[in-house]
Amino acid sequence: MYSYFIRRFLLMIPTFIGITFLCFTVTRFVPGGPVEQAVLRYQQAMANTSEGGGGTSDSAMEQGQISEEMMQQLKAIYGFDKPFYIAYLHWLWRVLHFDLGTSDTYSRPVWDLIKEKFPISIIFGLTGFTLSYLICIPLGVWKAVKHGSAFDTGSSVMVFIAYSIPGWTAGVLLLMLLGGNAFLDIVPSGGKESGYITEKSKLSMFLQQGALAVDLPAEIRSQYPKLRDNQQISANHPAFAHVPSEKRFQLKTGGHADLNFVGRLLDSMWHMILPVFCYVLGMFASKTVLMKNSLMENLGQDYVRTAFAKGLSERTVIFKHALRNSLIPIATGLGHMLSIILAGSYLIEKVFNINGFGLLGYESLIARDYPVTLGILVIGSMLKLFGNIMSDVLYCIIDPRIRFS
């Protein structure tokens, strides 16, 4: 068994090279890359300058031409001055040294951009992953117990209808129905937290005490030069402790940071309702049906009939004996928890304007920001490869009958 996992780990190397080489090659030959976009921006800027100066269109075209020397400089800046296989080897060498390059759009290291999205993606991914198990396992068990009943048939219809609807499509429909004041104003129209809380908002009761920046002592105020005189600060601000008690008041408006812990928690949960629902929408069918079929298969085994023959109750046989073995296929999916950071769909995060891993990848693809796109590919492929191996390890641990030899 150990030799099997050693081979799996060694197989990750050519698999990773194959995935990254294929995608890297595509970025080299697909039209509309960063060099072409830089040339287009330059031509548009020169054309606008000529129009503002009253120049003719012919002169604008002449000014917008890119010299061969400038074109070579642009290719060198974006790394297109070498053959694609040489450029790939240089890129792979940097990746092995944990250098994913610098974003062409944000002019920041790709690692910094990705690390900013980790907490957001982990929260949404872990929440969706956990809810899918907490809902699908009991639903699958109940469908197996009530096999052939009206509940089983009706729930199967609902499950497969939900499975057939893409998550981002469901998100658009739910936003039109429940958010944005279109029909019902129940949930926010997007984002991961409230930007501004008014007096009419139900969250206003969770606003903390505040004060005006002008009421800070002069020596403290000098440490925060960006604060305006009429700007409000909440109890979360480090300078609030120096405000005289008679100058403090209860905030009536504010933002997410001005809420207390309970308010911030409720605000985040309020914004997570629809996105998380759309994340797990497609998981219902696969996990529910897998749980049902696994339990029904175990209920037909000899050890279950033997348990019934011994006089054990149906509840004991199902939940103490059959359910344990039925959870093996479900439990092995826990290995994919490594990839929960990518659980959010690109389109779902775009629909709900969630500034996470998916939205970063979507915007990078649209802007042809290849360093960020390839950086996300590196993270995603490694998480998937390690997740598959962890699933096999869990399968061996949970079911001792399995041996990879």
Domain spans, the chain? 19-99, 111-185+281-398, 208-251
pLDDT score at 15: 93
Sites in the chain below the pLDDT cut of 50: 55-62
Please state, in angstroms and as integers, the Cα–Cα distance from residue 119 to each residue in 84, 192, 363, 365, 383, following that order: 35, 12, 19, 22, 16
User: Cβ neighbours of residue 231 under 8 Å, at least 6 residues apart?
Assistant: 212, 213
CA 364 to chain CA mean position, Å: 14
What token pair was written down for 106? 């944000």
pLDDT score at 20: 92
The CATH label, of 3.30.413.10, 2.120.10.80, 3.30.70.2740, 1.10.3720.10, for the domain at 111-185+281-398 is 1.10.3720.10
The span from the CA of 128 to the CA of 31, in Å, is 37
Residue 235: burial class (beta carbons within 10 Å; 0-12, 13-18, 19+): middle
Please state, in angstroms and as integers, the Cα–Cα distance from residue 346 to each residue in 121, 278, 296, 349, following that order: 11, 12, 36, 6
pLDDT score at 181: 61
What token pair was written down for 222? 């000098």
Cβ atoms of residues 273 and 187 within 8 Å = yes
